[in-house]
Structure 1
C-alpha cells in the first residue's frame, strides 16, 4: 500500500546524513523499550520518596546503581509477541495468502498466556508453536498485567464490537503497541486500525484503544516520515483535539507538551500534572513529556539516558512510562541512542534482536 501524506507539521527538515536506516530504527525501538522497561521495573509503583531514599535525591538514573540488573516485564514480552503476530501475518501475505492480522495477534497473545499460566485457556484454539515460544527468557513471570491475563483467559477474541474487560484501560494496552508503527508500506489509517484492534483483544475501554493507536502513530511518524519529536507530538495533539471522542486524551497530550516546555520538573509536579502512569493515557503523556523535556541534550545517547530517567522517577508505573519513552527515542534515533553499558545489562538482547531480524526479513525485499 502507498503511504498517505504526512500529518501537518510532522516532517523533519533536518538534512543530516546521520539519519538512521530502517533496521536500526526497528532494533532501536525494541531494544530501547526493553531498556526503559527493565530499568523502570526496579522502582515500579514505588513513591519517589522511596526511590530517593534508595538511590539519592536524583533517583534511579543508571543500571550501575542497582545491585543486579534485574529483568524486563510482561510489557516487553507482549511487545515482542505483538511483533511476532505481525510477522506471522506478513509471512502469510508474502506467501500470497491474506491473513487476519487481529487473529494472528490474538493467537500470539494466547501463546504468551501459556508461558505465564502453563496452559491455553479453556475454549481457546491451540496454535502451533513458533520461534519466539522457545525463548525461555520470555517465560518468566514478571508482573503480568491482570487485564491481559483475564482478557485472554476467557478464550474469546475481544473486538471493538464484542468488548472484553469493558473497563480496562491500564497502561499494558499501550506499552505493547509500538510494533504497529514499525510496519512499512501501510498508511496511517491501517496502523491506527491494527493498534486499536490489538488493544481490543484484552482491553474494552476506548481510552485504551486511543492510547495504543496514538503511540503506534507516533512511532510511524518517527520511523517512516522522519518526523521530529516535537513535530510528531504536535501532530498527534492536533488530531486528538479534532476528535470529540478523544477529549481526555487531548487534554493529557496538551498537558504533557506544555509541561515539557519547563524542562524536567520535580516528580511531585509531574504526577500532579500528568498522573501516575497507571492508565494508558497517563503513561503515554508522562513518556511524551519526558522525551520532550530533555530534548536539549547534546547527543542521542545523552537524550536517551536523561529521558528514561525522567520517565521513571515518579510515583507510579515507572516501567510502563520508561518503556514508552525509550521506544519513542529508539525509533527516532535508532541504535545510536542506546548506551552500551545499558545494553550490557539488558536481559535477553539476543532474543530481542532475533525477533527484530525475523520481522525485518518479512519487510525487506
Structure 2
C-alpha cells in the first residue's frame, strides 16, 4: 500500500468513525437475524423505522451520527483549545450539548443510561472526577480516536494522561479505561503506517498491557475491577491474534467465549456486545481479516449488537489505515456535518484550528438534532397515514 499523507489518514479516521456510527446507529440493539429479516444486508444508511416500528425514539435520520461521534468531536475541540484533554472544560462542553437545562440529554443523540447519569450528576455540580460509572461499558473507547491522531508518534505521558482525563469522567472500570487506551494506540499505529498484519495485534496488546500497569500504579484509588481483571483488555486482544485463520463463525464464537472469561455482565452472547473485551478485539480482528473499508464496515454493522459503536471504532481504525479515498462516495455524500468533521481532522494534524472556519459544535449539534426530530415527525405522520415504513427513504 502506498504511503499516505497524514492528513489523508486523519480525514479517513474521523470520517470513518462518523460513517460507521451513522450506518450502525439505526441497527443498535438488533441481532444479525433481525437485521436480515427487516433489511436483508444493510449497505447504506437506513432510518431504522422498519425494525423499530413501535419505538419512534429509535428512528434515526439517515446519514446522521450519534453520541459516539458527538463525543469524539468534543474531544477534538478540547484538544485544539488546550493541547490536551482536561476534565473540567470537557464536562462543561458535555453540559452545553445537554441544554436546555434540566433535560439531561439535550442534543446528545442515542446516549445510554450510564451517560445520562453522568450528565445528571454534572448538572447537579458533582466534580467530573467523581462521575465515572463503575460498569465496564464501551463509551470511553468509542470517542477516543482523535487522541491517537493528535498525539501521533508521541507515546509520552501526555497521551496517557489525556486518555485518562477523557475516560474517567464517564468510566472507572479498568476494562473500560484499558479499552480506550487500546483504541487510542491502535489508531495511532494505523495513522503512523504500521502494517496491517498479525503482529499488529501483539503490538497493540503490549501497548495496552503497559497502560494497564500504569493505570493500576497511578489511579488505583479510583479505578474498579483491578483485582479481578487487571489484564483483561491486553489478553483479549492478544487472544484475537490466534483466531485470524479460523472460519468467520468459529472466530466470532471464540471472541465471545474469551470475552466471557473477563467478567462480562450480562453474559456476552455476541462479539459486538458493548463490552470492551468483546467489542474491541472484534473490531481489530475484522480490521485484519477484511480487504477494504467498505467490506469491513458492512460486515460489522450487520452483526448487530452495539452496531453504532463497533462501526465507529472500526471506521476510525480503517480510515486511519486506508485513508479518506477508500471510503465509498455514497457514504461520504450523505454524511451530515462532513465539513465540520474534515476541518477538525485537518486541525488535529496541524495542532491548530487557526484559519479554519470550524462550525461551533454546540450550535451545529442543536441544529442536527432538530433536523432529526423533524425527520422523525415526518416518519410518524407517514406511518399514521398508512404509509409503509421502508428502509432507505430520503427524508
State whether TM-score is above 0.5.
Answer: yes
1:211 aligns with 2:200: no
Corresponding position: 1:60 with 2:42:
yes
Q: Would the alpha carbon gap of residues 328 and 106 (structure 1) be closer, same or farther in structure 2, given more than 3 Å must change?
A: farther
Matched, 1:237 2:205: yes
Q: TM-score, structure 2 length as denominator?
A: 0.70
Q: 1:20 and 2:4 equivalent?
A: yes
**Structure 2, unpaired ranges of 5+:** 50-60, 214-225, 260-270, 355-395
The residue that corresponds to 1:81 in the other structure is 74
Structure 1 residues 204 and 154, CA gap change in structure 2 (3 angstroms): same
Tell me the CA shift for residue 315 of structure 1. Answer: 4.2
CA pair 240-177 structure 1, distance change in 2 beyond 3 A: closer
The equivalent of 2:333 in structure 1 is: 344
Q: Where does residue 97 of structure 2 map in the other structure?
A: 115
Paired with 1:55 and 1:141, the residues of 2 have a C-alpha distance of 27
Aligned to 1:167: 134
Unaligned runs of 5+ in 1: 1-15, 91-100, 123-137, 298-302
How far 1:337 sits from its partner (Å)?
1.7
Distance 1:39 1:150, change over 3 A: same
> How far did residue 78 of structure 1 move?
0.2
Q: How many residues align?
A: 310
- Work out the CA distance in 2 between the residues paired with 1:207 and 1:346: 32
Summarize the Cα distance change of 1:222–1:212 in structure 2 as closer, same or farther, 3 Å threshold.
same
Counterparts of residues 1-365 of structure 1 (less than 5 Å) = 18-56=2-40, 59-63=41-45, 69-90=62-83, 101-103=84-86, 105-119=87-101, 140-155=107-122, 156-159=126-129, 163-184=130-151, 186-224=154-192, 226-230=193-197, 231-240=199-208, 246-262=230-246, 264-265=248-249, 269=253, 272-273=256-257, 275-294=271-290, 297=291, 303-363=292-352
- In structure 1, how many angstroms separate the alpha carbons of the residues matched to 2:254 and 2:68? 23
CA distance in 1, matches of 2:39, 2:80: 40
Which residue in the other structure is 2:268 paired with? none
CA distance in 2, matches of 1:238, 1:317: 26
> CA offsets per residue over residues 58-114 of structure 1, 9 Å max, x none?
x32333898972421000000000111111113xxxxxxxxxx342x5423432333
Q: Structure 1 residues 223 and 89 mapped into 2: Cα distance closer, same or farther (>3 Å)?
A: same
Whether the 8 Å CA contact 1:277–1:316 is kept in 2: the answer is: yes
CA distance in structure 2 between the aligned counterparts of 1:85 and 1:257, rounded to whole angstroms:
35
* 1:97 corresponds to: none
* Cα deviation code 1:123-162 (max 9, x no counterpart): xxxxxxxxxxxxxxx9744211332332243233434xxx
* 8 A contact 2:347–2:353 mirrored in 1: no
Asked whether the equivalents of residues 171 and 277 of structure 1 are also in contact (C-alpha less than 8 Å), the reply is: no
1:307 CA displacement: 0.9
| 8 Å CA contact 1:121, 1:154 repeated in 2 | no
Q: CA deviation at 1:249?
A: 1.2
Structure 1 residue 363: deviation in Å?
A: 4.9
Partners of 1:120 and 1:108 lie apart in 2 by 19
> TM-score by structure 1 length?
0.75
User: What residue is the counterpart of 1:4 in the other structure?
Assistant: none
